[in-house]
């Protein structure tokens, strides 16, 4: 970066362009930053190809494009790539892909022959499309950061969920990890809310299908409120199976808390029918277009992301924004 573009980077306000997957969140982020949303024209040709145009001059500016690669994942990935390319060709000085939910993260290793390493491929094409940096929230696995050869700021929205628990007046609870793979994260949550920890031993019988084998530490469950923390709720099989098993073992009320509400397939029906009293999610994935059952509450990560954008723009540390949570 030459001295002139460095000067314009820090002296002018950041430019925030929300994509269709994260429009509402992008608007909230702009409100927190005290700036206007930068307009974008996006339309489909009749053969379904996408046309993208940035509506304002962003030459020499510090640009943040907000787009989760949530369902419909392929469309949202392609839109993100086109927005990055448009910003690059419009001579932005620096482009940050802000991906509150990084979809395609689950295939992050070659665990069987002849499979695509989707997380790595998506990281590659985001960089090729013009991203200089990535800002994301609660990656499915922390090592995905290493798939990018550009700087990645990895935010953790756990504090948003913990603040909610601490302000809820809820007492006498135990934290439950919904599977063994999530134990480190759940232990962090347990430490943050000063509660004991139990662990569900979950077995995946097929993709998106799971069953509870046993619960480690179940002697602490009877009569207690249970907080199940997870990184995401997808089909809700994991969390609903766990909630049934926990109630069978004498849990009082069961609360499910997760950063990403993927909520695919029959997730909403399952959650509605489950013994879970309240489901707490964040808005890394937009839920504005679908009616949610009353028991689902959505908290905003806009202040967290706006804080990170401010710090990246001003070349300040991002890590002091959140308490580091091991995975
Ligand atoms: C598993 O590794 C994840 O942390 C979640 O537990 C899982 O992806 C949730 O999936 P589902 O809601 O479909 O059971």
Q: What is the pLDDT of residues 43-81, one digit of tens each?
A: 999 999 999 999 999 999 999 999 999 999 999 999 999
What pLDDT is attached to residue 9?
67
CATH number, domain of 95, equals 3.40.50.2020
Mutate to test the pocket of ligand 1, among 140, 142, 234 (most ligand atoms within 8 A of CB): 234
Q: Which pLDDT belongs to residue 325?
A: 52
Is residue 201 within 8 Å of residue 180, measured between CB atoms? Answer: yes
With a 6 A CB cut-off, is 233 part of the ligand 1 pocket?
Answer: yes
Nearest atom within ligand 1 for CA of residue 235: 13
Nearest ligand 1 atom to alpha carbon 202: 6
Contact 28, 302 (CB under 8 A): yes
The predicted model scores a pTM of 0.93
Residues 271 and 182 in one domain: yes
Ligand 1: which of 143, 202, 232 to mutate, most ligand atoms within 8 Å of CB?
A: 232
**What was the pLDDT predicted at 202?**
80
- Does the beta carbon of 238 sit less than 6 angstroms from any atom of ligand 1? yes
pLDDT of residue 304: 96
285 falls within a domain: yes
CA distance 111 to 113: 7
Claim to verify: residue 13 and residue 120 sit in the same structural domain: yes
Does residue 165 share a domain with residue 56? Answer: no
Residue 179 lies in a domain: yes
Cα–Cα distance for residue pair 238/259, rounded to 1 Å: 15
The reply to whether 146 and 252 lie within a common domain is: no
Is the beta carbon of 237 within 6 A of some atom in ligand 1?
A: yes
Q: Confirm if 184 and 191 have CB atoms less than 8 A apart.
A: no
**What's the domain range around 189?**
158-299
What is the CA angle 246-250-256, rounded to 5? 35
Known catalytic residues are 202
CA distances from 275 to 151, 171, 252 (A): 42, 19, 10
Determine whether the shortest distance from the Cβ of 132 to ligand 1 is under 6 A: no
For residues 100 and 123, membership in a common domain is answered with yes
44 part of a folded domain: yes
Residue 327 lies in a domain: no
Tell whether ligand 1 has an atom less than 6 A from the beta carbon of residue 80.
no
pLDDT at 320: 77
pLDDT of 44 reads 96
Q: How far is the CA of 93 from the centre of ligand 1 (A)?
A: 38
CA 141 → CA 136, 185, 288, distances in Å? 12, 11, 27
Q: How far apart are CA 309 and CA 16, in angstroms?
A: 9
Residue 322 is predicted with a pLDDT of: 65
Three-state DSSP at 218 gives helix
Please report, for residues 93, 106, 126, 241, the alpha-carbon distance to residue 121 in angstroms, rounded to integers and kept in the order given: 25, 12, 9, 33
Distance 284 CA to ligand 1 centre (A): 16
For ligand 1, atom 2, which residue shows the shortest CA distance? 181
How many separate domains does the chain show? 2
Domain contains 196? yes
Are 150 and 275 members of one domain?
no
Check whether residue 78 and residue 145 sit in a common domain: yes
Q: What angle do CA 130, 136, 140 make, to 5 degrees?
A: 120
The ligand 1 atom nearest the CA atom of 238: 14
Shared domain for 263 and 181, answered yes or no, is yes
Instruction: Classify residue 36 by its DSSP letter.
Output: P
As a whole number of angstroms, the distance between CA 239 and CA 245 comes to: 10
Strands (E), the chain: 15-18, 40-44, 50-54, 62-66, 94-99, 133-137, 152-155, 173-177, 197-206, 209-216, 225-233, 254-261, 276-282, 296-299
288 with 162, same domain: the answer is: yes
Judgement on whether residues 55 and 135 belong to the same structural domain of the protein: yes
Confidence at residue 203, expressed as pLDDT on a 0 to 100 scale: 80
Query: Is residue 200 situated within a structural domain?
Result: yes
- Running DSSP on this structure, what letter comes out for residue 196? -
The finding on whether 139 has its CB within 6 A of some atom of ligand 1 is no
Q: Which of 96, 56, 28, 92 is nearest to 313 (CA)?
A: 96
Q: Which residues of the chain have pLDDT under 50?
A: 324, 326
Based on the number of CB atoms within 10 Å of its own CB, is 78 exposed (0-12), middle (13-18) or buried (19 or more)? Answer: middle
Angle in degrees, CA 177, 142, 239, rounded to 5 = 25
Domain annotation covers residue 1: no
Q: Do 247 and 262 sit in the same domain of this protein? A: yes
Q: Are 190 and 249 in the same domain?
A: yes
| Residue 233 alpha carbon to ligand 1 centre in Å | 6
Asked if 88 and 95 touch (Cβ cutoff 8 Å), the reply is: yes
């Amino acid at each position: 970066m030459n001295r002139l573009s460095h000067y314009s980077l820090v002296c002018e306000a950041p430019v925030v362009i929300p994509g269709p997957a994260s429009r509402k969140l992008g608007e909230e982020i702009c409100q927190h930053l005290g700036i206007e949303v930068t307009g974008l024209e996006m339309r489909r040709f009749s053969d379904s190809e996408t046309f993208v145009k940035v509506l304002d001059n962003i030459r020499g500016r510090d640009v943040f494009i907000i787009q989760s690669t949530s369902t419909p994942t392929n469309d949202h990935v392609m839109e993100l790539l086109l927005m990055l390319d448009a910003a690059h060709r419009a001579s932005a000085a620096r482009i940050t892909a802000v991906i509150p939910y990084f979809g395609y993260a689950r295939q992050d290793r070659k665990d069987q022959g002849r499979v695509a390493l989707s997380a790595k491929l998506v990281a590659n094409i985001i960089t090729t499309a013009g991203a200089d940096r990535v800002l994301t929230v609660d990656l499915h696995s922390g090592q995905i950061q290493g798939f990018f050869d550009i700087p990645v700021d990895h935010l953790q929205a756990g504090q948003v969920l913990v603040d909610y628990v601490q302000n809820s007046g809820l007492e006498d609870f135990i934290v439950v990890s919904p599977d063994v793979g999530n134990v480190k994260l759940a232990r962090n949550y347990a430490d943050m809310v000063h509660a004991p920890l139990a662990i569900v031993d979950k077995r995946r019988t097929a993709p998106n299908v799971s069953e509870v084998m046993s619960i480690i530490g179940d002697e602490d469950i009877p009569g207690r409120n249970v907080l199940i923390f997870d990184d995401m709720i997808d089909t809700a099989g994991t969390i609903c199976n766990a909630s049934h098993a926990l109630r069978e073992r004498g849990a009082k009320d069961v609360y499910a808390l997760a950063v990403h509400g993927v909520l695919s397939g029959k997730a909403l029906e399952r959650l509605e029918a489950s013994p879970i009293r309240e489901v707490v999610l964040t808005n890394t994935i937009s839920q504005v277009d679908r009616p949610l059952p009353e028991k689902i509450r959505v908290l905003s990560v806009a202040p967290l992301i706006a804080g990170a954008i401010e710090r990246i723009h001003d070349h300040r540390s991002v890590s002091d924004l959140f308490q580091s949570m091991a995975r």
